[in-house]
Structure 1
Amino acid sequence: MRIETLSTFPDMYASVMGASMMRIAQDKGALDFCAYDLRDWTHDRHRTTDDEPYGGGQGLVMKCAPIFEAYDDIAARFPQRPHTVFLAPTGTPFTEAHAQRLACEDRLLFVCGHYEGIDERAYTLADSCFSIGDYVLTSGELASMVIIDAVVRLLPGVLGDDASAVDESFHDNLLEYPQYTRPAEYRGMAVPDVLRSGDHAKVDRWRREQSLARTAARRPDLLEDACLDSADRAFLDSLRAPRDPRA
């Protein structure tokens, strides 16, 4: 996969893309990454990418002309047209399902806003527009890094075990079950016996029930779209059943 970013602060990507799984993905040839500086498509001596908003108001708005020129140039550099992603607080809330769909693309281009936002006309270039939460960040670079990480880890061969991505939170609309490692007991807290039993069927069922219970407690909204069988539904019903105070 080729991932490109267009922003006014391309140097922000250096540390993230040069470490951990992002570096491994590039070393393995699964990822080709490039960060472009939007200022390279400006034509004044100050390399200006923003201006005052029409109608007045606070802050500055990113100009659409440099973005259009940059897009035309970048898109033409490879035969495959990029799936273009804008980051904005007004975008669609980003989910694991979106990450899975983006991971199927051959080429992604992230356009990152700054200041008070981007001239609305630039959004006509967008194939997707995402928000990573109901809060405002200083710039879209940070949001793009989150989405890039979520996408790249899904690429074949990036994780040491490709099944790892399948077992994690949100893959099937359930939160991940609790994880433990050595020692078996620490400060009076013991690893559940079932995980040390060697009975893989019991371990699988325990993990499934823990995922269901955790999701029901923390993110019940996810259960609406989760794929549940009769055993899952029976377990969830048992969680909702009133407890006998005499028990």
Structure 2
Amino acid sequence: MRIDIITVVPDILKSPFEASILKRAIDKGLVSIHLHNLREYTTNTYRQVDDYQFGGGAGMVLMIEPIDKCISNLKKERSYDEIIYMTPDGETLCQPMANQISMYENIIILCGHYKGVDQRVRDHFITKEISVGDYVLSGGELGALILCDSIIRLIPGVLGNETSALTDSYQDNLLAPPIYTRPAEYKGWKVPDVLTSGNFPKIEEWRENEAYKRTQERRPDLLE
């Protein structure tokens, strides 16, 4: 998978891809990340990428021209499955969406900044708009990182045990059940006996019941 990220502050995005699972995926050649500084696509002396909005109002807006040039240059080199804009009013990121995007070959992620982008960008270039929650960030970079992490970990070969992702919360519209590790008893707090019984059918039944119970208690909307 190739991910091209368009941003005005690329430095924010660098370090997360230099550690942990994301770095492992890159080192294995399972994913490639390419950061594009929007200021490199400007023609003005000051490398300006934003301007005041028509009609007045607070907040600067990312201009259409540098975004057009960047996306158009990328599209000359390859076709893209999706051109994604990270925005608070987009479709909320969920596990099924991450599952779908993880199967794509090439995607572009445009990070909004300031007040956002010229609406014409959204009308003519963007194919999908994604939000990471009902709140506003200073820019789309952190949202882009969340999206990247959610999809990269699903790519076969990234996780040590590929079945691990299949048992995560939300994969079956259920939250994950409680999990335990050694020691089996700590300060008198014991691990449920079924988990140390070696009876794997019973263990799976327990996990399914606990997952349903937890979902019913915390996210009953998922069961609807």
Tell me if 1:113 matches 2:134.
no
2:97 match: 98
Task: Please state if 1:89 is matched with 2:112.
Answer: no
Structure 2 contact 80–108 (Cα < 8 Å) conserved: no
Contact preservation (8 Å) 2:4, 2:36? yes
State the Cα deviation string for residues 89-146 of structure 1 (Å, max 9, x = none): 1101110011011011100110001001111000121111010100000100000100
Structure 2: stretches of 5+ with no match in the other structure: none
Q: Distance in 2 between matches of 1:42 and 1:171?
A: 42
Of the two, which has the highest radius of gyration? Answer: 1
Asked whether the equivalents of residues 156 and 162 of structure 1 are also in contact (C-alpha less than 8 Å), the reply is yes
- Is contact 2:89–2:131 with CA below 8 Å preserved after alignment? yes
How far apart, CA to CA, are the structure 1 residues paired with 2:147 and 2:139? 14
Alignment correspondent of 2:65: 65
- Secondary structure in 2 matching 1:86: strand
Shift of 1:83: 1.5
Q: Is this contact kept in 1: 2:38–2:70, CA < 8 A?
A: yes
Give 3-state SS (helix, strand or coil) of 2:77's partner: coil
CA apart distance, 1:185: 1.2
Alignment of 1:150-169 (within 5 A): 150-169=150-169
Paired residues of 2:61 and 2:117 also in contact (CA < 8 A): yes
**What's 1:202 paired with?**
202
Shift of 1:174: 0.4
Amino acid at match of 1:96: Q
Corresponding residue SS for 1:213: helix
Q: Tell me: higher relative CO, structure 1 or 2? Use CA pairs within 8 A at least 6 residues apart.
A: 2
CA contact 1:75–1:82 (8 Å) conserved in 2: no
Of residues 144-153 and 180-189 in structure 1, the stretch that sits farther from structure 2 once superposed is 180-189
Q: Does 1:221 pair with 2:221?
A: yes
Alignment of 1:2 onto 2:35: no
| 1:89/1:136 contact within 8 Å kept | yes
Gap runs ≥5 in structure 1 = 225-247
Normalising by structure 1, we get a TM-score of 0.89
Structure 2 distance, partners of 1:101, 1:46, is 40
Counterpart CA distance in 2 for 1:135 and 1:220 is 22
Query: Residue 203 of structure 1: SS of its match in structure 2?
Result: helix
Q: How far is the alpha carbon of 1:197 from its aligned partner?
A: 0.4
**SS in structure 2 of the partner of residue 92 of structure 1:** strand
**Aligned residue runs from structure 1 range 1-247, under 5 A:** 1-78=1-78, 80-123=79-122, 124-224=124-224
Q: Which runs of 4+ in 1 moved over 3 A?
A: none
Q: Cα distance, 1:81 vs. partner? A: 2.8
Measured after TM superposition, the shift of residue 82 of structure 1 is 4.6
TM-score (normalizing by structure 2):
0.97
CA–CA distance in structure 2, aligned partners of residues 81 and 197 of structure 1: 50
SS at match of 2:67: helix
Q: In the aligned structure 1, how far is the partner of 2:76 from the partner of 2:215? A: 45
